[in-house]
Amino acid sequence: MIRVQLSSSYSTYSKKLILDVYRNNIYESIEKEIASLSSIACLVNNGGMSYPHFDDYGGAKCINWDFIQDMIMCNTHSIAVMTYLVLPRLLEQKSEASSAIINIGSFVATVTSPFHSLCGATKAFILHFSQSIAAELRLSSSSSSSSTTTTNGRKVIIQSVCPFYVVTAMSLVKRPSFFIPTPTDYVNSALNMLGVEEFTMGYFTHALQGCFNNIYESIEKEIASLSSIACLVNNVGMSYPHFDDYGGAKFMNCDFIQDMITCNTHSIAVMTYLVLPRLLKQNSEASSAIINIGSFAGTVTTPFGSLYGATKAFVHHFSQSIAAELRLSSSSSSSSTTTTNGRKVIIQSVCPFYVVTSMSRVKRPSFFIPTPTDYVNSALNMLGVEEFTMGYFTHALQGCFNNIYESIEKEIASLSSIACLVNNVGMSYPHFDDYGGAKFMNCDFIQDMITCNTHSIAVMTYLVLPRLLKQNSEASSAIINIGSFAGTVTTPFCSLYGATKAFILHFSQSIAAELRLSSSSSSSSTTTTNCQNVIIQTVCPFYVVTSMSRVKRPSFFIPTPTDYVNSALNMLGVEEFTMGYFTHALQGCFVNVVPLSWIHDKCKILAEKGRKKYG
């Protein structure tokens, strides 16, 4: 019927293929059909299924592992494979006309969707996947046109369409209204945005509104045999062998796609389905938890890691939706928990950056890359505190620049008084090297270092200083900013690090001068407000025995952290600038009298040693 209507309305030939998108064995025949075509103008990935009705993920009668696999195969796997089969053809075609891949998602991809968690998570996959592929094409092309790449003089458009309700059999809506268009009206509207926006709701009122199962049988039996369950950690996952184009990577094929989706999304959905009802029914006063391990890649678009990032977006969205379900289903106001038989069920999404693991292929820990043990110990401290966490403080720094300070500001507001702020967070170079040629130097490294070493100190001082000035206390308070001797001299082969430390020194001394000039007090680096002195001090050490300095044994010139801190604190309120340790002060005097060229030569030697050692 549809084929006849298309032929008569648009004078085109239509071929009908009857295929079961719930199964993986259909794509060989599709690949043959694609190969037989002389050209392809457009792929519309519109296959999809939904819930029969909104319901609890842990209690809905319609949800079982067959339903879960069918939804994931239909809503995510089919789109991933069809894009993989068609995209290379579109890129290779020699034509001046544009071609397009249009992926039909849903508005539920853009918000957490309690009582619709699985469907919403699959739609989040589609949105993230489409945006990542579009970004890949932009980055791979010399064209600046949004969401397109120029190959043989033509454009390939990737667009994600996320409608609200439309009059269809799946929506169960029979009559159109102001907010619910007919399919024809919706399609005509959505097509107007093709090539204009890579993401669209498709209709102006919508814009206003804004894989294998047999293993789970044995797992279900094991779960049933347990007297109680304290915690489920969904940490299974696979990644790309390396970053690469979705449409051109040699490792990418239908089996790889199914394996990744089954491993990274289907397993988490099923395991949560099997365990959550048990947790809700248990009679225990102790809390229980489901911890789903995602990735930072699920929080941003990830070109050249599109499929992996999309699966992690699924994990993040799914976890938040289940947590919202539990909150809304419960009379408890506790975040991400529900009270059943007097107990709490915690749902947490953990999204790390790199950790030293075989999957990350990082062999040595660093300031931003912890060992698994250090990461786990840190992440567990957030269990029951936040339903979403990066799990490690340096990962939180990498993951966001401003939103962490909202929670810090709330914590500061809750304090009755503040005695001292020590700004001691920082990162350094892996080794001395040329700024323009170092292998570790890239835009991300630069942003991380500036954010960590300068932005954090500026914001924390901004949040705390007004409180210190307003406090009614006779006791002194202080802000101690930890810099480095590298901020006192030019540091070739460590230029960016030294510049961030120069920022700290200048910033601290300027704030101290502000307070002196704003106060009638003549006391150096302090201001009297309600009978209280506020001290601003910069501490600029040389080497100390720390993991960042990679010095393991103390010496006459290199103290332990405890010895250094005890010494530096003796200078609090005495000097607004200090090296913090008497041998460091000796080194500082020496640096001031020797020719600058001598210091630069030493930096060059350190750079040469670093290149030999680290490559």
- Number of neighbours of residue 322 by Cβ within 10 angstroms: 30
Contact status, residue 233 vs residue 291, Cβ threshold 8 Å: yes
Q: What angle do CA 359, 361, 449 make, to 5 degrees?
A: 115
Convert 127-142 to b/e letters by CB count within 10 Å (16 or more is b).
Answer: bbbbbbbbbbbbebbe
What Cα–Cα distance (Å) separates residue 405 from each residue in 279, 283, 455, 466? Answer: 34, 39, 11, 15
3-state class (DSSP) for residue 41: coil
Max alpha carbon distance in the chain (Å)? 91
Q: What is the DSSP letter of 418?
A: -
Q: At what angle do helices 443-450 and 495-518 cross, to 10 degrees?
A: 30
Run of H or E residues at 232? strand 231-234
What Cα–Cα distance (Å) separates residue 370 from each residue in 11, 249, 343, 497? Answer: 62, 30, 33, 21
The 3 state secondary structure assigned to 56-81 is CCCCCCCCCHHHHHHHHHHHHHHHHH
List residues with catalytic annotation: 497
- Report d(CA 231, CA 347) in Å as an integer: 10
Run of H or E residues at 565? helix 561-569
Tokens in use for 464? 């705390």
- Report d(CA 325, CA 31) in Å as an integer: 41
Backbone angles phi, psi at 329, to 5 degrees: -85, -10
Of the candidates 482, 494, 489, which has an alpha carbon nearest to the alpha carbon of residue 561?
Answer: 482
- Number of neighbours of residue 89 by Cβ within 10 angstroms: 16
- Cβ within 8 Å of residue 256, ≥6 positions away: none
Tokens in use for 467? 């409180």
